Amino acid sequence: MASGGRLTAVERKRSIGANDRIRIGVIGCGDRGCNAHMEGVYKHAEAMNLEIVALADPWRIAREQANAKVRQWFGRDARQCVSYRELLTWDNIDAVMIASPDHLHTTHLEAAARAGKHIYVEKPLATEMDRLVRAVDAVRAAGVVVQVGTQIRSLPGIVGARDLWQSGIFGKASRIEECRNGERPYWYQYLKEMKEEDLDWKEFLLDRPMRPFRADIYSGWYGHYEFSRGPSNNLGAHFIDLVHFITGAKFPQSCVSLGGTFTWKDEHQFTAPDCVQTTWIYPEGFLVSSSNNLGNGSGNGRKFFGTKGVLNLDNWNAPTFNAAGGPQRDGSIRGVNQVTPVEHPDHYLDWLQCMRNGGTPNASIEAGYQHAVAVLMAMQSYDTGRKTIYDHEKRVILSA
């Protein structure tokens, strides 16, 4: 072969036939990687003929805990390493699942695409716009199958809600809103005691400034703005992806975001806001509002308001709809109704099936790029205190 024995990206994509075993490496073996990604694909291990063969994580304890599952499930140890760089040099890996901290997603995504691997990558896709563009371009050039981890769009109730919304029964959208609150910030649940000698601290920091090791920075990185960008970028990625999936909108026209750390000030010195309000305006002519109050857990809700009725996603496993408040309601909606679910493969199975058939996953790299642009607009507005706009042709976010 002209490539010196290595498969090209397109050849690799075509190489996973119905009878070929899919060999998966996991980059990031923390709570999400071990308890969501690994568990999620293992459910389909027999039916989809797959195995987890490699693990990369800078923390030894996480690697060992993940490997214990591999040993239990497959009867042998996974190959283990500290760095994604080493894992991506191993030839017996067809696909990787990226569940690293948010500031590492684009670095790992770009490297995996350049290595010709199929990819499942956690949301939010990015914390910097230039790295987002570079990583997405690498995926497009490689031709690999990428599923972004906005798994809520694959729930049968949400697929049904999308079909119902696009039928036109709700009229024109005016406002779409989410309040996703909690009694305390979600990052506290991840705090752990750790020993510095068990961790490659530099591998975690990567391009972030060096500083002395702190267990509450590593284990509670969600609460540190430089690693996560806070709730608008994390929780907000799920919500804005639902907006795009259900309405068909792609990119906001403008965004304003304000907030701060108002309630949870303690010895951990967390810098991610515990209260934040973000609004986007879309060129289709509606406003989207995302609010997170992590100092009081009441007031949660998620609704799509139209001129003929309301789609209620307070419970996205069982959405409902009614005609309340619609100025143009015409009797086509009566009472409170359950959205009819539409069966859909779960998010992990959808990815695995697309590796077999060459299809486009439900949360494609294009969908990931769209949600990432929206939350990065929010981040830049929060940083500057100014409205942001998105230049689609130049692929840059500007302050108005």
Cβ neighbours of residue 274 closer than 8 Å, sequence gap 6 or more = 185, 260, 261, 262, 263, 264, 293, 294, 295
pLDDT of residue 266: 95
The domain boundary residue, chosen from 111, 134, 152: 152
Are residue 330 and residue 384 in the same domain, yes or no?
Answer: yes
Domain annotation covers residue 349: no
Domain shared by 174 and 148, yes or no: no
| Structural domain count, the chain | 2
Q: Which of 103, 124, 152 is the last residue of a domain?
A: 152
* Weakly modelled stretches of the chain, pLDDT under 50: 1-12, 14
Are 116 and 178 found together in one domain? no
Dihedral sign, CA of 244, 249, 251, 252?
A: negative
Predicted confidence at residue 197, as pLDDT, reads 98
Residue 138 CA to residue 363 CA, distance in Å, equals 17
List, in sequence order, every residue forming a beta bridge with 293; answer none if it has no partner: 275
Residues 147 and 195 in one domain: no
Query: How far apart, in Å, do the first and last CA atoms of the chain sit?
Result: 52
**What CATH number is attached to the domain comprising 147?**
3.40.50.720
- Per DSSP bridges, beta strands 286-293 and 275-282 are antiparallel
Sequence-ordered list of residues with C-beta below 8 angstroms from that of 70, at least 6 positions apart, any chain: 38, 52, 55, 76, 77, 78
Domain, as residue range, for 73: 9-152
Residue 219: give its domain's CATH number.
Answer: 3.30.360.10
User: Rounded to 5 degrees, what angle do the CA atoms 165, 182, 185 make?
Assistant: 120
Q: What is the pTM of this model?
A: 0.94
Whether 348 is in a domain gets the answer no
* Statement to judge: residues 34 and 132 lie in one domain: yes
Q: Which long-range contacts (CB under 8 A, 24 or more apart) does 158-163 make?
A: 158/242, 158/245, 158/246, 158/313, 158/316, 158/319, 159/341, 159/342, 159/343, 159/344, 160/319, 160/339, 160/340, 160/341, 160/342, 161/246, 161/311, 161/313, 161/319, 161/339, 162/245, 162/246, 163/342
Which residue type does 370 have? Q
Instruction: Say if residue 104 is in the same domain as residue 179.
Output: no
Look at residue 159 in the predicted model and tell me its pLDDT: 98
Give pLDDT, residue 16: 79
Domain boundary pick from 137, 152, 167? 152
Q: Are residues 169 and 309 in the same domain?
A: yes
The Cα diameter of the chain in Å comes to 67
Instruction: Give CA–CA dist 307/121, Å, rounded.
Output: 37
Q: What letter represents residue 89's amino acid?
A: T
